């Protein structure tokens, strides 16, 4: 491949292009009119305006993106994550137009894009799954029958999509009909597919995912796990690798299960298999994401493997240059997603101008972003500004470095999730490793964050007073 078009925007477009350029390959950026001055546009060798601000008039225009790629003699298209990254139809059209789609085969995307189809595909491999039914449910009476059999609470889930949409927890039978109708309606609105299914609700789960790589030569390996349990509204905010609760035996079992899931759909490229881990350390298959994950940097930090480079090499039909035994965990990595959201106001969107934007710098600190000082955060896209990633030789060292990096990150003009990140990394539940996906519900409130602010201010005032009195004493002595 001599030229790659990155069909995305912001931090992920920039992050992909850095690796592409490192490999000596030319880059093409696409952008909407509102992103005209974005860093990923300036960084690329060539850039083309694809349309107006709304994503359905720009970044989701698959046919237009392919047209641009053909006109500029592009060899491959990297979709990043979001937008068209898990669109089987787009992947197929890219390949049919003589361009390499840097990702899995359309069939794998299609199978794993449906939670029901994914469960059916992996069923024969003996992979543990949450008790429930593996078929779409529309009849309320049948749903009640299933719920009685597996026991409340239950979880109603949309077969298509994710991010917490089309998902409802039901604690008692009298609420089932209303919650089921809501889930179906939300799924239809968000994904154009109202299919929902029922499974047992795991009360105190941890969200553990396994990174896999698979080439075209029959080699599939895993790159260990990421802990993604700190979430708000079912969406991840803090990730780490490795998990603090997995034993080496459990890590091996989950890694093997993830490899089997990949083989179940003849997977190629980089992908992620997600599991729920209950309080008794039982794990259950959740879903597979057929793309690069937002949180992929923590895996890169602990393995030293550039996942985008591997995606490109696999797409070029190269064999993996390492096997399972060659990959080891070194140290500990943490990631905080820096969203344009108000941590003190239920994570409400905070749109505006980045009046001040200065990122932390230093050894083992990495910032993947797509903004610069003076830029406006547009309302049309995901509100993530950046990913702040740190690495330490131990988990404790990584936590301390992350707290320092958060303090050094200067953003003014909008509210962000940096204060929430500070709350998490200072909280005893997180530092002890004793937490689950309900961390926010259990521990976080705006009042708790305000109390932490007040405590920090008091400590700072005491330190300032101590320094003043010390200096005064020195002057008297002189």
CA distances from 295 to 151, 195, 386 (A): 34, 28, 11
- β-pairing verdict for 384-392 and 3-6: unpaired
Decide: residue 190, CB within 10 A, 0-12 exposed, 13-18 middle, 19+ buried. Answer: middle
Which H helix or E strand runs over 323? none
How far, in Å, CA of 221 to CA of 326, rounded? 10
Helices (DSSP H) in 192-303: which residue ranges? 248-264, 296-303
Q: Which residues contact 82 (CB under 8 A, 6 or more apart)?
A: 8, 12, 382
Report the distance separating Cα 38 and Cα 44, nearest Å. Answer: 11
- For 332, 395, 397, the CA distances from 362, given in Å and listed in that order, are 17, 18, 14
Describe the strand order of the beta sheet including 269-277 as a list of residue ranges: 283-289, 269-277, 206-214, 220-232, 235-241, 332-339, 384-392, 365-369
| CB half-sphere exposure, 49, CA atoms < 13 A | 10
Number of C-beta neighbours around residue 379 at 10 A? 11
Lookup: tokens for 62? 């698959």
Q: Tell me the three state secondary structure of residue 409.
A: coil
Helix or strand or coil: residue 448?
helix
Contacts of 398 (CB under 8 A, 6+ apart): 240, 331, 332, 333, 334, 390, 391, 392
Known active-site residue 337: no
Residues with Cβ within 8 Å of residue 405, at least 6 apart in sequence: 360, 362, 365, 388, 390
Exposed/middle/buried for 429, CB within 10 Å: 0-12, 13-18, 19+? middle
Q: Are 198 and 158 in contact (CB under 8 A)?
A: no
Q: What are phi and psi of 208, to 5 degrees?
A: -115, 130
Single out the catalytic residue among 15, 168, 291, 313.
Answer: 291
- Return the bridge partners of 5, or none: 28, 77
Token pair 């779409």 is found at 136
Q: Which residues are catalytic?
A: 291
């Amino acid at each position: 491949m001599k030229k790659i078009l990155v069909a995305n925007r912001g931090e992920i477009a920039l992050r992909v292009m850095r690796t592409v350029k490192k490999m000596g390959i030319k880059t093409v950026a696409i952008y909407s009119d509102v992103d005209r001055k974005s860093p990923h546009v300036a960084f690329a060798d060539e850039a083309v305006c694809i349309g107006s601000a709304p994503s359905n008039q720009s970044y989701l225009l698959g046919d237009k993106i392919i047209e641009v790629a053909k006109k500029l003699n592009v060899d491959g298209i990297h979709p990043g994550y979001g937008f068209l990254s898990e669109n089987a139809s787009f992947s197929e059209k890219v390949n049919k137009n003589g361009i390499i789609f840097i990702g899995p085969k359309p069939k794998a995307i299609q199978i794993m894009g449906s939670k029901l189809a994914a469960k059916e595909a992996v069923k024969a491999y003996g992979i543990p799954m949450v008790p429930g039914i593996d078929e779409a449910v529309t009849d309320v009476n049948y749903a009640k029958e299933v719920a009685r059999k597996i026991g409340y609470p239950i979880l109603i889930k949309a077969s298509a999509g994710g991010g917490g949409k089309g998902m409802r927890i039901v604690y008692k039978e009298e609420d089932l009909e209303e919650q089921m109708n809501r889930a179906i309606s939300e799924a239809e609105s968000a994904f154009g597919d109202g299919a929902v299914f029922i499974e047992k609700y795991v009360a105190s789960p941890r969200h553990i995912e396994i990174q896999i790589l698979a080439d075209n030569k029959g080699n599939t390996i895993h790159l260990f796990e990421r802990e993604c349990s700190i979430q708000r509204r079912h969406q991840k905010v803090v990730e780490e690798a490795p998990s603090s609760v997995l034993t080496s035996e459990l890590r091996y079992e989950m890694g093997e299960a993830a490899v089997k899931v990949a083989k179940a759909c003849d997977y190629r490229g980089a992908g992620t298999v997600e599991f729920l881990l209950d309080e008794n350390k039982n794990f259950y298959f959740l879903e597979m994401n057929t793309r690069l994950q937002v949180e992929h940097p923590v895996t890169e930090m602990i393995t030293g493997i550039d996942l985008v480079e591997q995606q490109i090499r696999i797409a070029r039909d190269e064999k993996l240059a390492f096997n399972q035994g060659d990959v080891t965990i070194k140290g500990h990595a943490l990631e905080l997603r820096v969203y344009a959201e108000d941590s003190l106001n239920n994570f409400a969107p905070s749109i505006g101008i980045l009046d001040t934007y200065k990122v932390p710098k230093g050894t083992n600190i990495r910032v993947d972003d797509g903004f610069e000082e003076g830029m406006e955060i547009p309302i049309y896209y995901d509100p993530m500004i950046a990913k702040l990633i740190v690495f330490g030789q131990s988990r404790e060292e990584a936590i301390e470095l992350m707290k320092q990096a958060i303090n050094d990150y200067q953003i003014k003009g909008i509210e962000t999730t940096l204060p929430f990140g500070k709350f998490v990394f200072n909280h005893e539940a997180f530092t002890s490793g004793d937490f689950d996906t309900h961390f926010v519900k259990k521990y976080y409130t705006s009042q708790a964050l305000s109390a932490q602010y007040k405590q920090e201010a008091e400590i700072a005032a005491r330190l300032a007073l101590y320094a003043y009195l010390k200096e005064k004493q020195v002057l008297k002595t002189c």
